[in-house]
Chain A
Amino acid sequence: SWRFFFLSFRKIYTILKNSLLIIQTKSKKTLARPNVKNIVLVEGVRTPFLLSGTTYSDLMPHDLARAALQGLLHRTAIPKDVVDYIIYGTVIQEVKTSNVAREAALGAGFSDKIPSHTVTMACISSNQAMTSAVGLIAAGQCDAVVAGGVEFMSDVPIRHSRKMRKTMLSLNKAKTLGQRLSLLGSIRLAHLSPELPAVAEFSTSETMGHSADRLAAAFGVSRVEQDEFALRSHSLAKKAQDAGLLQDVISFKVPGRDIVSQDNGIRPSSMEQMAKLKPAFIKPHGTVTAANSSFLTDGASAVLIMSEEKALAMGYKPKAYLRDFVYVSQDPKDQLLLGPTYGTPKVLERAGLTMSDIDVFEFHEAFAGQIMANLKAMDSDWFAQTYMGRKSKVGTPPMDKFNLWGGSLSLGHPFGATGCRLVTTVAHRLQKEGGQYGLVAACAAGGQVSDTHVQHSLVVPAMIAFCTYAKHLYEL
């Protein structure tokens, strides 16, 4: 019996030791991988996000991007010629500045020797800009890259009809007056109807809002659930704004207007008020309304990404490591907005983490219904087994770690610029809340993970989707 007692004692001791080890590992585990460079987020800023058609309405997209770049220069005081490369993301392109990265960089006073390019990947365009930057640094091409995103919905390219364009192009080539007159004579009333920019997914001709409504219905998300989530987003954003937590926002002197220093789309309302709205896309029985969708927004963002080595050598105190990222794609018809569900478990597995390891979640809120549908999908064993080839459900992020400073529903969603906002917010929240790992996910985009000082941050954008809302575009 002594022997037995001894064994038991050893057993208890081992258990205790192991649990201690677990605690120790958790606080010390690094996601650094051998032979992979540590890449860090040095700083992230953004212009205030404004409802389109408000104070920014007379600008051009590169003006906004310029403002973000200048803000970044100001915050970091980085010498302009240290930056090796500049990448910007945008969705609806202004044709005059199709490489908006280059125009904005030149306008912001960066050296004309710095190459810049523009990427587009719907709502995760600036995620793509950031991950491209990570790629350039990891490949040893660059040490310091500025990535950002811009979207300007106050003005979008509205084209002549194809028929009219064809006539006009032929007019250029017409040699005689007779030819010109006959071409002009061929113009009919139908030629004059303009072509609005893509209001629908090209592959399915379905608008994003319509798709979100169907998605919400497929997962049985009620109107009340959506309104509640939207209200939560606005309330949390308001709180964060009032508490001065949105430190990534820079002030911007708009030419001919006042200085803008706050987002203007945060409107905490009441459930009663929200319940009064009619569905915006599927009538009369739909559940997605103007109040539980993100609104058309003007805004730009920028981040400075460096190799850890270089950042430390220059005396910077990096905000986060960018550790890993995953892009995933699904069926654009029925699973358009389910990217986070697919992307999140993948990036966690890559990093060797589980949902409970994550301290800060920032998910892009395209529609309240879309977020709720993703949460339900993540909570469903059936969905995980049937569509994801998993044994069991992904699990849902705890709401007390989720989008605590508002989200795209309330802060606004300039398509090309949102990704940088999410990553910067994760870094700031980790700092503020004292967490270690953060994860970002975006539909039309996937997830990303960030983390403060010492540890990790992963970038995980997923699915591509075109975030244009028919209703709002017409309202332009």
Chain B
Amino acid sequence: SLSLSLSLSLSLFFYSAYMSERERLYCFCVCVCVCVCVQVNTLSVQMQAELTEVMGEVWSNGAVKSAVFISTKPGCFIAGADINMIQACKSSEEVTSLSREGQKMFEKIEKSPIPIVAAINGSCLGGGLEFAIACQYRVATKSRKTILGTPEVMLGLLPGAGGTQRLPKMVGLPGAFDMMLTGRNIRADKAKKMGLVHQLVDPLGPGLKPAEERTIEYLEEVAVGVAKGIANKKVSLTKEKGFMQKLQDTVMGLGPVRKQIYKTVSDKVQKQTKGLYPAPVKIIESIQAGVEQGGEAGYVAEATNFGKLAMTSESRALIGLYQGQVICKKNHYGTPEKEVKKLAILGAGLMGAGIAQVSVDKGLTTILKDTAVDGISRGEQQVYKGLNDKVKKKALTSFARDTILSNLSAQLDYSSFKSADMVIEAVFEDINIKHKVLKEVEAVIPPHCIFASNTSALPIKDIAAASKRPEKVIGMHYFSPVDKMQLLEIITTDKTSKDTTASAVSVGLKQGKIIIVVGDGPGFYTTRCLAPMLAEAVRVLQEGVGPKRLDALTTSFGFPVGAATLADEVGIDVAAHVAEDLGKAFGSRFGGGNVDVLKTMVEKGFKGRKSGKGCYIYGKGKKDKSVNPDAEEILKKYKLAAHPAISTDSDIQYRLVSRFVNEAVLCLQENILRNPVEGDIGAVFGLGFPPCLGGPFRFVDSFGAERLVGIMKRFEDIYGNQFTPCQLLLDHAKNPSKKFHK
């Protein structure tokens, strides 16, 4: 469709067909203004070529005094460069030359003899943004869908078509760093404030045409007006600078000040990435080269660094995650027979209320049921707070918040469950309680209603054993905090019907989740991978490595949260529960640390963050925490002697990670996982597996199965079967050409 639409825009371009359609609008212009319409949403080699050709024709036609660049695809200006184009490259030189081509094209746009106005509606990201900022003027719609940004850093890349050079000039050094290092999306009104766009256009409501269509047309009208205005000097391109702007420019003009900024930013990046992500460093380098040594040096630095980054394993890992995420945001099970419109949630605890929070604002009528008034009061407050925080951030109006909340009903009984389409239980993790509520619920719900369990470890088929209709029973494992964690793990049993799965996936997608669908078994996929790692963490703690050092070792490996902190976040009681349950199911392979450590902690009330004490003592502030001396006492009581042969920092890291990875591979071997992609996505988005490694499977691919097996064997010699590599891993070790990802 790429080339087709472009050739379309080419044929449309010269007056013939195109102008006749728009004649009414532009015929009477004093200066002729041409609109270039794009229908593609990614920049590719082909598009670059065709764009150059089109622009060449525009420039060679003396009658054309200004141009507008607009996308006719609703909701999208240009969403960035084509990733496949970069992936297809074999060497960094090849990528560098791609970048040079892009730079050259955009430089021509920047130096265009006639003004070019970019009319932006929808995503304007990456290469799209770089194109827009090369234009002389930018008009954007104030629609919620209009977002601008440079997300390259999230793919381990940098803006490689002049972005690192133009942005600092446009939004200032600090603003440019912020945009490029965080990769965050910027809404139109913010973009206007930052100086990224010149003018905003309001989205229109319905008129004589559908709203979206008319809005794009209106955007075009306004942009054409501006383009003509620039051409006949009625609209000025230089904006009068305010006092603060002038002050900032003066300050930024001072070499030592800039030096200090580079240093501060570099230090911050080092602290946050622990040196595991090369892209931010290269972004800083490229910006610095441009600002300090001038344009040409900057462009060269940008292109060279872009080439280097594209060949890094980190970039491949991040791109893999991005592509996996796209796959996991689709429903592969078809359209459910009956759309879920009314959702009931049992248990208004942290989880239940969290699920309500992400459902109610997506238009689902939501019932939040608990057994106690205190429970629903706390739950309702949590939902309210979640929405109200958005109001405070101006992402939502107070009116919208109230309207959304009107879809929530908190209650103590089963009234109106008779019209529920899906029930998700988030009650206490006890099979007897789960059976009790399942029976209660089945007595009141309609036949089509789905029963989903938000358990983190109990096998779904055990829960479904109490059901009259096991085909309607499924597992929906959310992660806490539900509104922040993107993953949803859906668990199907042999009896779960395909339509039930389709429904659960559809609800999860509506809730904005990235979804993996896994088979049933103790701990499913995510909990099952986490458990051995946590067991190992407990052993490491018992061997005298303090919580702080354990955290440092895990975070420096790339985990966003340290293992000790993670245990506190998950809850020591939950960890103990899971360790015991899975220990029973899987035997000594899940051993390692002594479960009694966790149990003793729970007895003393150290249940983790929720109780204020766990491995750490938590103060009021978010970062306010110190090691819990009483927990250390307990660890001393259960002290184990460390084996010097496998207790270096790196050994400890691999002891933790290899157990995680081995269990993940075993899940694939046992068909709990359907494919490595979902395995990687689940591990990264649900458990915080280092994103720079791309997930356990990509890690095995890039690290080498043989090397991993070698390390594990060393540990196996001392600790036994906990480190025995699974068959699939051994297969990969034997045959290096075997890869989980192509």
A interface vs B, CB < 8 Å?
202-205, 210, 213-215, 217-220, 282, 284-285, 331, 333-335, 373, 376-377, 380, 382-383, 386-387
Contact = CB atoms under 8 A, between A and B. Distances in A.
B28 interface: no
Interface of B: 199, 201-202, 204-211, 214, 218, 222, 225-226, 397, 399
A282 B222 CA distance: 12
A202 B402 CA distance: 12
B347 to A, nearest CB: 33
Contacts of B204: 214, 217-218, 334
A386 B206 contact: yes
Contact of B399 (A204, A215, A373): A204
Contacts of B211: 218, 334
Contacts of A202: 399
B399 A335 contact: no
A282 B205 contact: no
B201 A387 contact: no
B214 A218 contact: yes
A218 to B, nearest CB: 3
A376 B204 CA distance: 16
A473 B283 CA distance: 49
B208 A334 contact: no
Given A214-B204, A334-B205, A382-B208, A285 B397 contact: no
Given A218-B214, A285-B225, A376 B397 contact: no
B206 A214 contact: no
Contacts of B210: 386
Given A284-B199, A285-B225, A219 B397 contact: no
A203 B205 contact: no
Given A203-B399, A285-B225, A215 B205 contact: yes
Contact of A218 (B206, B225, B399): B206
A34 B225 CA distance: 60
A213 B208 CA distance: 15
Given A204-B397, A284-B199, A383 B208 contact: yes
A283 to B, nearest CB: 9
Nearest to B226: A285
B209 A282 contact: no
A284 B226 CA distance: 10
A335 B210 CA distance: 13
B208 A376 contact: yes
B222 A214 contact: no
Nearest to B201: A285
Given A204-B399, A218-B211, A218-B214, A282 B206 contact: no
A387 B206 contact: yes
Contacts of B202: 210, 213-214, 217, 282
20 contacts: A204-B397, A205-B399, A214-B202, A215-B207, A217-B202, A218-B206, A218-B207, A218-B211, A218-B214, A218-B218, A219-B207, A282-B202, A285-B201, A285-B225, A335-B206, A376-B207, A376-B208, A377-B208, A383-B207, A383-B208
A382 B225 CA distance: 28
Contacts of B205: 214-215, 218, 331, 333-335
Contacts of B214: 218, 220
Given A333-B205, A377-B207, 8 more contacts: A205-B399, A214-B202, A214-B204, A215-B205, A217-B202, A217-B218, A219-B207, A383-B206
B183 to A, nearest CB: 30
A387 B209 CA distance: 11
Contacts of A373: 207
Contacts of B208: 218-220, 376-377, 380, 382-383
Choose among B205, B214, B397 the residue with the greatest number of A CB atoms under 10 Å from its CB.
Answer: B205
Contacts of A204: 397, 399
Contacts of A380: 208
Contacts of A334: 204-206, 211
Contacts of A213: 202
Contacts of B222: 285
Contacts of A386: 206, 210
A335 B211 CA distance: 11
B387 to A, nearest CB: 16
The list of the 3 closest CB pairs from A to B, nearest first, reads A334-B205, A218-B207, A218-B204
Contacts of A210: 202
A218 B209 CA distance: 8
B441 to A, nearest CB: 37
Contacts of A218: 204-208, 211, 214, 218
A377 B208 CA distance: 7
Nearest to A202: B399
B399 A382 contact: no
Nearest to A376: B208
Contacts of A215: 205, 207
Contacts of B399: 202-205
B397 A220 contact: no
B118 to A, nearest CB: 16
Nearest to B208: A380
B510 to A, nearest CB: 23
B116 to A, nearest CB: 18
B397 to A, nearest CB: 6
Contacts of B397: 203-205
Nearest to A201: B399
Contacts of B226: 285
A389 to B, nearest CB: 14
Contacts of B209: 382
A83 to B, nearest CB: 40
Nearest to B402: A203
A285 B206 contact: no
Nearest to B223: A285
A376 B399 CA distance: 30
A384 B466 CA distance: 54
Contacts of A219: 207-208
A331 B211 CA distance: 14
A281 B250 CA distance: 34
Contacts of B225: 285
A214 B211 CA distance: 11
Choose among A218, A333, A373 the residue with the greatest number of B CB atoms under 10 Å from its CB.
Answer: A218
Contacts of A285: 199, 201, 222, 225-226
A210 B201 CA distance: 12
Contacts of B207: 215, 217-220, 373, 376-377, 383
A50 to B, nearest CB: 33
A382 B209 CA distance: 8
A350 to B, nearest CB: 25
A461 B697 CA distance: 67
Contacts of A217: 202, 204, 207, 218
Nearest to A283: B199
A213 B205 CA distance: 11
Nearest to A282: B202
A284 B239 CA distance: 14
Contacts of B218: 217-218
